[in-house]
Amino acid sequence: MLDTLCKSAFACALVILSALSLPLIAQEDEPCGIYNSTVRTFGLTPDQIESKSAASHQLEIETRAANMGGEQRAELLVIPVVFHIIHFNGPENIDDSQLHDAIEVLNRDFRSLNTDLYQVISSFQDIIADVEIEFRLARKDPNGVCHSGITRTVSAQTFEGEDDVKELISWPRNKYLNVWVCEEASGAAGYAYLPGSVNNFGNSWLDGIVIQNSYTGSIGTSNTFRSRTLTHEVGHWLNLRHLWGGSNTPGEPDNCDMDDNVADTPWTMGWTSCNLEGESCGSLDNVQNFLEYSYCGRMFTEGQKTRMRTAALSSVAQRNQLSTTSNLIATGVEGDPLLCISQFNTDRVVVCEGSGVQFTDASYHDVTSWNWNFGDGTILNGETQEYANPYHVFNQSGIYEVILTAGNSFEEVESDPVVITVLPAGAMDSPSTQGFEQDEFPSDYWFIEDGLNDGTWEVSDDASFTGENSLHLDNWSNDIEFNRDYLMSSTMDLSGDDIEEVRISYKWAYCFKGTSEDDETDDRLRISVSGDCGVDWDLRKMHRGYTDLPSADPHYYPFVPSGSGEWNEYTLTLDQSIYLTPQFRLMFEFESRLGNDIFIDDINITAYTEDMIAVEEWRFGPSWNLYPNPSGGATNLSCTTVKDHMAVITLADASGRIVEKVFSGTLTAGPHNFQISPADKSKGTYFVVIELDGKPKALPLIIN
């Protein structure tokens, strides 16, 4: 059963006594993939394998002996776990904290420490089992080297999550429970194989659990309602069947003729809803069992405990080797304190004077003391948990190296330094012009951040719109989708009483990688701004590969613009008070979708007073934005004026014939937005003709 998959608030409200508002969760995947994955891999159903497998028969004999009072180790069984994160640099590359949470949820459920245990109906309260199995994240790798117990592998196979991911990385199954965390899990929330299916050494590499990241733990990309998927799958890994038997079709009448081979779980057709009074096969069903699909699992039974502990202590699939003292020491989960790495994370590495940084200890393992040197003369040290994750305010601008020395009663380990840049308010003057000429860039006013440390923005003299240089990003040779690279400015003071707005103009050159429009990719150039020095970034413009990012025809080879005709430009105007501060910053973010190279040039940031706007408007007219362009749908034409104008706006085709009258009348002071519809217009080049007070201006528009 998967408590984590509530489909509606109604289904969960039957067992949740406190007033909770539960969201609807779209359920497209199967809750559990054991049946389909077994058939796909072995060509047999779990029942068929069990009937033919000598290892499965051995487990049944051992389980019957245990049920009849045979000897079992009475102590707590400990099983080392390793998580293999298979990701493609997207949100499926979940944080360590989500995996630590998943272990906590798993242990809570197996030890009957879950706080919702009291919700189990009275008929089954007497058979709730503390399974007395504990799962611990490994602290040493197979070579005995200190390790976090979490591996990360970049592979597009994460989007399938089939058995092939296990060939990417796997640790010995007689030392670790392998859990592969992916974006998908072969059409299910997760799946595992019964130990009798993978007993042979020839298929031992299949042993373990594949699970979606969004069903792992109760935080991050997952949530409380999905958090028990791992509990369910570990049950299968320890030889539990679904309560209705070996099929994947709960609710079928024929299921009353199948059993899960556990004496104290009533015969049932199986449930996909939480009917606590259900009697599908003539007796009250254990709907709240973790091996149901009822979405309200709370318990294992005593019979399931015996079955799982028997599997854990059996030689079948080498399960009995996992909990031995020698293996627990070899994997680092028992023995002397182990401290191998001192490291930490930060929420930001660039801040302004008077702002703080949240530091989070990521050292492992057994850390009991923390000594922080923040590089600004401040030393913080202590042995209580509050010192593990300090928040430190930097009061003076400068560049500081922060070092953590983590320790315990045996040793101390010093981290590598992390550089924190503290900016003064208003570091950049207005207007600020960045053309990436050699004497201008890099500078104290611009920062580059490489998302994957695989190459990022670099000054290039291969192309430019003006001058000799531009900023270039090699995207053509990139083979990692969703790779992101950042260009960020320092601060500009826009807090003057007479400043009405800030205008940001920039030029870029980009094209698809290929030979035709069929090769288009949805790479993205995002422009974000902040009025609080980057604490919060607001996306204000995005140029997409499918719309207005391309400035030239596709190139099969790495793209270099051949002239000004292969560049695009845009002007972003901001007049919101939240940005007119002493700590205004600008950020360009390029997200790769495996397209071609991109160049940026002529970034201009200018603060405008009302007088400057009036003069600008008198000389050139207001600044117009036409987007998206090219367009496959409606196009927006917008501007903001400081005075009234007599205006006529029309749309003309390439021959000059007027095909649409957009506006005619008085354009009053303030913001304006007009929509141009592509209806009844063929593909091609058009011109938006704007006549203000008798002065005409034409903007090209491509309809595709």
- Strands 446-450, 484-489: pairing is antiparallel
Cβ pair 394, 351 in contact under 8 A: yes
Cα R_g (the chain), whole angstroms: 31
Q: Read off the tokens for 479.
A: 């083979």
- 100: enclosing H helix or E strand: helix 96-110
Count the alpha carbons within 13 Å of 675 in the hemisphere toward its beta carbon: 5
Q: Do 587 and 498 touch, CB atoms closer than 8 A?
A: no
Phi and psi, residue 224, nearest 5°:
-60, -35
Which residue's entry shows tokens 């709960």? 250
Distance CA 81, CA 113 (A): 20
Contacts 24+ apart (CB under 8 A), 697-701: 697/621, 697/624, 698/652, 699/624, 699/626, 699/637, 700/629, 701/626, 701/629, 701/630, 701/631, 701/635, 701/651, 701/676
**Spatial contact of 184 and 161, defined as CB atoms under 8 Å apart:** yes
Distance CA(163)–CA(180), nearest Å, equals 10
The enclosing H or E element of 12 equals helix 9-13
Q: For residue 43, what are the contacts with CB-CB under 8 A and spacing of at least 6? A: none
3 state SS of 562: coil
The tokens for 388 are 């593990």
- Determine contact, residues 313/77, Cβ cutoff 8 Å: yes
Residue environment code for 372-410, b if the CB has 16+ CB neighbours within 10 A, otherwise e: bbbbbeeeeeeeeeeebebebebeebeebebbbbbbbee
CA angle 634, 635, 638 (to 5 degrees): 140
Q: Distance (Å, rounded) from C-alpha 585 to C-alpha 347?
A: 17
Give me the catalytic one of 92, 233, 589, 591: 233
The answer for residues whose C-beta is within 8 angstroms of residue 437's C-beta and 6 or more apart is 467, 468, 469
521 Rama sector, left if φ>0, alpha if ψ -120 to 50, beta otherwise: beta
Type of residue found at 641: T
Q: Are strands 458-460 and 432-434 parallel, antiparallel or unpaired?
A: unpaired
User: Does residue 123 sit in helix, strand or coil?
Assistant: helix
Reported residue count of the chain is 704
Q: Parallel, antiparallel, or unpaired: how do β-strands 355-361 and 344-346 relate? A: antiparallel
For the residues of 627-645, what is the DSSP string, one character each? ESSSBSS-EEEEEEESS-E
What residues have CB less than 8 Å from 591, skipping those under 6 apart?
Answer: 482, 483, 484, 523, 524, 526
Task: Using alpha carbons, select from 430, 186, 195 the residue that is nearest to residue 308.
Answer: 195
Tell me if 45 sits within 8 A of 37, measured CB to CB. no
Amino acid at 263: A
233 is catalytic: yes
Handedness of CA 478, 484, 489, 495 (dihedral sign): positive
Active site residues: 233
